[in-house]
Chains A and B, each alone.
Chain A
C-alpha cells in the first residue's frame, strides 16, 4: 500500500511539474496607405512570406494574425512605390502594441518593424 501511494505521489509530482503554456497572439497590422505596397513578414513557422496589398483607402487595415511563442522573432517590412502614399506598421502581442513605425513618401527604404516576443 505504501509503495503504491508513494508511486502515485511521485507521478502526481511529475505531472504537476509540466511547464506552462507560453503561447501568445501575434498581430501584424499595416495601414495608412492609399496605393499598393508589398509586405514581407515572418510567419508562425519562422518563414519569410510576402504579400501585395491593394488598399482602398488610408483607413484600410491589413491584418495578419497567428499564434506564436515567447522568444519568437516578429518581423514586418513594407515598401511602396507611390511617393504620395504612406505606411504605418504595428506589431501587437496579445492585443497590446509591441512596436510601431511609420513613414510617408519614402519609396527608397523599407519600413521595418521587428523584435522578439518578450519572455515573461
Chain B
C-alpha cells in the first residue's frame, strides 16, 4: 500500500468550500492514519514539538466529525480529522497557537490554545452551517461553483487597500473597470456593460438609486468601503434570482449575522492614512452575540484632499464622508433568524472635476429587515424574506467653479428605492429548486435652481431635473440546480412586469418659454429572461463550464426621463425617451477551471453577447430641439438600435495556497461594436451625420493584465508583495461618439502585511511607485479642458487594524 495521501488537496478543497469526496477520503483514511501517526512521532522526536490533539463533535448530534480541516494560523501547517473525529497537530512548544477548524458543512471555528493546553485531549464542537446560513450564503453565492465566471473580492483585499471607493477597488477585478468622474463614485463597468446594465446591490438584495443625473453617486458610492466584508461578482445574464440581470450582478456584503454559544464582544478599529491625495480614514466597530441576540455597530469617517498626478499637476479630488451602521439580529427559534439593518452615510464637498458640478452634500439612509428560516421539514432547505428602503438626498452645485461668478446653479434630488424579495428553496430529489419574487419601486424628483448673481434683483429660475419620475418592477423567478458526479445542471428563468411614469418632461429657457415638452411618459413592459448552464467535471481537478442566457432589462430613469442634460460620454445634451423598448442581452459563456493543490488554479473564460434593442443616443436636428447647456455640440435622444455585439475573455492563475510564495496573474479583454450607427462626423470643422459601419462601442476598457508576487516570511507574519498592472492602448474607439484613443500604461506597486499579533495587523505600501502620469481609458475629460482626469502619482499609505 503506497503511503501517500494528498492532504494539501483536502485542505485546499476545504479552504475553497468545495464539496468533498467523502468516499475518496474514507478510502485514504487508513493511509492517512498511518501517516498521521508516523508524522506525529517523527515531529515529536526530531523537533521536540508539542502536540494539540483531540476529538471533534457535531454540536447538534454530538457525533464525531470526520474530514475537518485544521489549520495552524501561525505557520500555515495543517491536518484533518479522521473518521472518528480525532486529530493531532504538531505545534511549537511554549507558544500560544490559534487553530482554525474548517468543514464544508460546519461553521468555521477558531480557537486559541495556550501551552498548558498542549498534549491534553481537546474536545472541539462544531456547529452545523445550515443553522447559521446568512443571507449571502443562502443566496447560494459562496459554496457552489457556477456554470459561468464569478469573482470574489475578499476582506483581505479590502483591508490592505488604500482605496476609499468601491468602484476603485472593483477596477482590480478581471474585466472590470470604472467610469471615473471625480474623487469617488467610480461607476463599475463589467465586460463593457455599465450603469443599469449591471445589477449592483447590497447584502443580497438592497437596491440603491443614486440621485445625480450624471451618476456621480452610483449605488457603490452609497456604501462605505470600510464596511464591506466581501464583494461577489456574477458575470453574464445567468443568475436570475437576484433581480433583473442584464449582464452581471455585483453584490456587496457588509454584514452577516453570527451567533455564539457564549456571549462575546469584539471591537475592531481601523486607522489609515496616506500621502498625496492626503487623507485619513478611521473606523470603529463593536459587535457582540450570544445564542439568541447578535448586534454590531460601526462608525467610520474619512477625509481626503486633492492629489498630484504623475505630471506634478494638482487634481481636485477632495472629499469628506462619514457612515454609521447598526445591525440587530435575533434567533427567534433554532431555525428562524430575523435581523434589521440601518446604514446612514453623509458625504460633503466631494470634487468632480469632469462634471459641471461638485457634490455638496449627500445624505443616504438604508434600512432593511430580513428573515431567514432553515431546514423546514424534509422538503424546504430555506425560506428568506427581505424588505428594504433606501433614501438618497443628493445636493450638488457649481459654487467652486469659475462660471459660478455669473450663475450659481444648485441641484437637489431626492431618490427613493424601496422593495423586497421572497424566496423559498426546495429539495427536489438530489436537486434544489428556488422560487420567489421581488419588487422594486423607484421614485425620483429633483430640481435645479439657477441664480444669476451678476444681474440686478438677483433673478433665479428653477427647473426640473426629474419630475416625480416613477418606475415599478415586479419580478418572479425560479432557479433549478442539480449537482452530479459528472455534470452539474443549472436552469433559471424570471418574468418581470415593469411600469414607469413621470410628470411632464419640460424645459424652459430663462425667458420662460418652453424649448422642449413631452407629456407622453407612461410605459409598460413584460420581460422574460431565461438561462441554462452546465459544469462538466472532467476530472478531480478540471471543470468545463458552459452557460447560455438571455437577460432583459427595461430602460432606466435616465434613458426614459432625463431632460436635456449632458449625461453621456460625449458633449451633447441628452433627452430621455419614455417609449424606449427593453434591451436584451443574449449571451453565451464558455470556460475551463483547473484547480490543483500542487499546480494552482487556472480559470479561462470567453463570452459572446448579442444585444438586441441596444439603447444608445442619436442626434436630434437643431431645428427640433436646441441644446441648453453651455459648450455642448447638440442634443441626442435615447433610442433603440437593432443590435450590438460584445465579446471577450478572462484568464487568471493563482499559485497553490500551501506555498510560501504566491503569484497572481490575470488578463482580460473586451471588444464591442455596433454594426451600423448614425454618427456625427466633423469634416473641416463642419458636423455631418454619416452612417458608420462596425463602429466600436464607446467606453470599453482596453486589454489589461495584472500580476502580483508575494512571499511569506517569519512564519507567514510578514508578507511583502509587488504588483504590476499593464493596460494596453485603446485604439478601438467609437467614431460616432467622437471618442479619443488613449495610450497604454504600466504601474508598479509595493505593499507589505505584518501580523504583529492576534490583535494588530499592519498594511503599508506604495502605489504608483515610479510616479507615472497615466489615466484609464474610462476616465472622463476635465470639464472645460481637452485632457482627461489623471490618476494620482506616487502614494505612500498605511493601515492599522486592531481586533479585540
A110 and B456 alpha carbons, distance in the complex (Å): 6
In the bound assembly, the distance between CA atoms of A19 and B286 in angstroms comes to 22
The docked-state distance in angstroms from the alpha carbon of A5 to that of B456 is: 60
- Which chain B positions have C-beta within 8 A of A19? 320, 348
Asked if B456 and A77 sit within 8 Å, CB to CB, the answer is yes
Pairs across A and B, CB under 8 Å, 19 listed: A2-B267, A6-B265, A9-B267, A10-B286, A10-B299, A17-B299, A17-B301, A40-B456, A40-B457, A48-B458, A71-B360, A71-B397, A77-B456, A77-B457, A112-B453, A112-B454, A112-B456, A116-B399, A119-B399
Chain B nearest CB: distance from A14 CB in Å?
5
Distance (whole angstroms) from the CB of A28 to the closest CB of chain B: 13
- Chain A stretch 56-81: residues in CB contact (< 8 A) with chain B: 71, 73, 75, 77, 79
Chain B contacts to A: CB under 8 angstroms: 265, 267, 282, 284-286, 288, 297, 299, 301, 320, 322, 324, 348-349, 360, 397, 399-400, 404-405, 408, 451, 453-458, 804
Contacting pair B284 A112 (CB below 8 A): no
| A:29-52 near B, CB below 8 Å | 40, 42, 48
A115→B455 CA distance, assembly (Å): 12
Interface string of A78-120 (1 = CB under 8 A from B): 0100000000000000000000000000000010101110110
Determine whether the beta carbon of B458 is less than 8 Å from that of A42: yes
- In the complex, whether A23 has a CB less than 8 A from a CB of chain B is no
**Do A13 and B455 touch across chains, with their CB atoms under 8 A apart?**
no
Q: Is B322 a contact of A17 with CB atoms below 8 Å?
A: yes
CA distance A116 to B408 in the complex (A): 8
Name A residues whose Cβ lies closer than 8 Å to a Cβ of B. 2-3, 6-7, 9-10, 13-14, 17, 19, 40, 42, 48, 71, 73, 75, 77, 79, 110, 112, 114-116, 118-119
Selected from B288, B324, B348, B453, the residue in CB contact (under 8 A) with A14 is B324
Contacting pair B265 A112 (CB below 8 A): no
A10 to B265 CA separation, bound complex (whole angstroms): 13
Report the minimal beta-carbon distance from B217 to chain A, rounded to whole angstroms.
Answer: 19
Contact A7 B458 (CB under 8 A): no
Contact in complex: B399, A7 (CB < 8 Å): no
Q: What residues of B have a CB within 8 angstroms of the CB of A10 in the complex?
A: 267, 284-286, 297, 299
**CB–CB A77/B458 < 8 A:** yes
From A2, A14, A115, give the contact of B265 (CB < 8 A). A2
The answer for the CA separation of A64 and B360 in the assembled complex, in Å, is 27
With A77-B456, A110-B456 as given contacts, are A119 and B301 in contact (CB-CB < 8 Å)? no
What is the CA–CA distance of A7 and B288 in the complex, to the nearest angstrom? Answer: 11
Give 4 closest A-B pairs by Cβ, nearest first. Answer: A114-B453, A110-B456, A116-B399, A13-B284
* Residue in chain B with minimal CB distance to A71: B399
Cβ–Cβ contact A115 & B453, under 8 A: yes
Closest to B324 in A: A14
CB-based contact B404/A116 at 8 Å = yes
How far apart are the CA atoms of A13 and B122 in the complex, in Å? 40
**Which residues from B are CB-within-8-Å of A17?**
299, 301, 322
Pair A9/B454 contact, Cβ less than 8 Å: no
Quick one: closest B residue to A15, CB to CB? Answer: B299
Contact B455 A112 (CB under 8 A): yes
Given contacts A17-B322, A79-B456, could you give 9 more A-B pairs where the C-beta distance is less than 8 Å?
Answer: A6-B804, A10-B286, A19-B320, A42-B458, A48-B457, A110-B456, A115-B405, A116-B400, A119-B399
Interface pair B299/A13, CB less than 8 Å apart:
yes
| Chain B residues within 8 Å of A6, by CB | 265, 267, 286, 288, 804
| CB–CB A119/B458 < 8 A | no
CB distance from B725 to the nearest CB of A (A): 34
Task: Report the minimal beta-carbon distance from B409 to chain A, rounded to whole angstroms.
Answer: 11
Task: Give the distance in Å from the alpha carbon of A20 to the alpha carbon of B299 in the complex.
Answer: 17
Output the least CB separation between A16 and chain B (Å): 8
Would you call A73 and B284 a contact (CB within 8 A)? no
A73 and B408 contacting across the interface, CB-CB below 8 Å: yes
Q: Which residues of B contact A110 (CB under 8 A)?
A: 456
Beta-carbon nearest neighbor of B351 in chain A: A119
Can you name the residue of chain A whose Cβ is closest to the Cβ of B401?
A: A116
Closest residue on chain B to residue A110 by CB atoms = B456
Chain B minimum-CB-distance residue to A13 = B284
**A68: min CB distance to chain B, Å:** 13
Cβ–Cβ contact B324 & A3, under 8 A: no
- A77–B408 Cα distance when bound, in Å, is 16
**Within the assembled complex, what's the spacing in Å between the Cα atoms of A13 and B284?**
7
Query: Roughly how many angstroms separate A73 CA and B399 CA in the complex, as a whole number?
Result: 9
